[in-house]
Amino acid sequence: MMAAENLNVQGEIRHNEPMSRHTSWRAGGPAEVFFVPASIDDLSAFLAGLDAGTPVFWHGAGSNLLVREGGLPGVVISASRILRNLERVDRYGVRAGAGLPCTQLARQCIRWKLGPSEFFAGIPGTVGGALAMNAGAHGGETWERVESVRTIDRQGEIHEHAPAEYTVGYRSVTGPSNEWFLEAMLRFEPGVVPSMEAMKSLLERRKATQPLGLPSCGSVFRNPPGDYSARLIEAAGLKGYRIGGAEVSEKHANFIINRDNASATDIEALIEHVRQTVADVHGVNLVHEVRIVGEAPA
Ligand SMILES: Cc1cc2nc3c(=O)[nH]c(=O)nc-3n(C[C@H](O)[C@H](O)[C@H](O)COP(=O)(O)OP(=O)(O)OC[C@H]3O[C@@H](n4cnc5c(N)ncnc54)[C@H](O)[C@@H]3O)c2cc1C
């Protein structure tokens, strides 16, 4: 067991915290320790005092996360509350904290007439999660806007990095290991003026095509080159297919919804069933976009 209890921190430490409370799928096992820091200094002190062998997992809004029933050993850090800063730095530049919801980033940038920024409105996660995933929608992607990032490492030290230090692809980002995002400098484009109307119509389109009232993690699989996962899943006859309480959405085949008290095991089994069926029917191996973490049930 880690020495988290002995650390002198101001933030909140919870033991065996059910991650079902912190994921948009509303499913999943517990975090051994769930830490909500009171400030960045508090977070630094906590990290500096942790045993080197204690696993650390960073939680944003949990909108792309499946935590297996056996839960997450070590520490889950949930720092979104202390990282909600958003400042306009110069004409086209803003500094956004990693805990800021992307929806708030979009709305404020639209008020500031900074675009393209509407696409952030449809992403129900944090800026940190968007940086980790290179989240995108409607032709826009997070890292197209990144000028620099500020991170914290496993020892609690703070760093600045340029985009060139990361390898960024479609829903994939790799960079300095064992570091997490604290904030990003984002740069928007001269002459691209976004509008609330355009944002609202993108959100309306989502409402019409996605099962937004039900617990999900958005698109489960990345789109394969030149095709759409939703099309392949629908054509394989999987819409409405259920395992336990988990169901392939009738409205959008790349969404798996928690229809009725689904466990993480139900959801993971359904992900695997969809992957296998699409491979058998179409010969395409879908790769999941959602992050699947934690231990299998004992
Ligand atoms: C209804 C719905 C619609 C969606 N639509 C879209 C969409 O259009 N486009 C899209 O790209 N995604 C979409 N998503 C998926 C999800 O919202 C994004 O992937 C989002 O970026 C995840 O952010 P989060 O804060 O919830 O991250 P989490 O789910 O909490 O974490 C995801 C990963 O990011 C890591 N992470 C989180 N914060 C940090 C940090 N500060 N530093 C380092 N790593 C971090 C976590 O460790 C984890 O590995 C949708 C989800 C839902 C539920």
26 C-alpha to ligand 1 centroid (Å)? 15
State the closest ligand 1 atom to the C-alpha of 293, by its place in the atom list counted from 1: 49
pLDDT of residue 8: 78
**CA-proximal residue: ligand 1, atom 27 (nearest):** 129
**CA-proximal residue: ligand 1, atom 20 (nearest):** 125
Q: What is the 3-state secondary structure (H, E, C) of the chain?
A: CCCHHHCCCCCEEEEEEEHHHHCCCCCCCEEEEEEECCCHHHHHHHHHHCCCCCCEEEECCCCCEEECCCEEEEEEEECHHHCCCEEECCCCEEEEECCCEHHHHHHHHHHCCCCCCHHHHHCCCEHHHHHHHCCEECCEEHHHHEEEEEEEECCCCEEEECHHHCEEECCEEECCCCEEEEEEEEECCCCCCCCHHHHHHHHHHHHHHCCCCCCCCCECECCCCCCCHHHHHHHCCCCCCEECCEEECCCCCCEEEECCCCCHHHHHHHHHHHHHHHHHHHCCCCCECCEEECECCC
pLDDT of residue 79: 96
212 in contact with ligand 1, CB cutoff 6 A: yes
143 in contact with ligand 1, CB cutoff 6 A: no
Mean residue pLDDT of the chain comes to 96
Residues in contact with 87: Cβ distance below 8 Å, sequence separation at least 6, in sequence order: 94, 95
Q: What is the 3-state secondary structure (H, E, C) of 136-186?
A: EECCEEHHHHEEEEEEEECCCCEEEECHHHCEEECCEEECCCCEEEEEEEE
State which amino acid sits at residue 203.
L
Structure tokens at 184: 């990003």
pLDDT bracket for residue 292 (50, 70, 90): very high
Predicted confidence (pLDDT) at residue 3 exceeds the cutoff of 60: no
- Which residues belong to the active site? 171, 219, 289
The Cα–Cα gap between 5 and 140 comes to 43
Structure tokens at 298: 């004992």
130 C-alpha to ligand 1 centroid (Å)? 6
Predicted confidence (pLDDT) at residue 4 exceeds the cutoff of 70: no
pLDDT of residue 2: 53
pLDDT in tens, 156-207: 999 999 999 999 999 999 999 999 999 999 999 999 999 999 999 999 999 9
pTM (predicted TM-score): 0.97
122 in contact with ligand 1, CB cutoff 6 A: yes
Assess contact for 239 and 265: CB atoms under 8 A: no
Q: What proportion of the chain, given as a percentage, has pLDDT over 90?
A: 96
pLDDT of residue 1: 43
* Strands 172-174 and 167-169, sheet pairing: antiparallel
Assess contact for 274 and 220: CB atoms under 8 A: yes
pLDDT in tens, 230-287: 999 999 999 999 999 999 999 999 999 999 999 999 999 999 999 999 999 999 999 9
Asked whether the bond before 116 is cis by omega within 30 degrees of 0, the reply is yes
pLDDT of residue 5: 58
Pocket test residue of 83, 84, 123, 212 for ligand 1, highest count of atoms within 8 A of CB: 123
126 C-alpha to ligand 1 centroid (Å)? 7
130 in contact with ligand 1, CB cutoff 6 A: yes
Average pLDDT, integer, range 118-122: 96
135 in contact with ligand 1, CB cutoff 6 A: yes
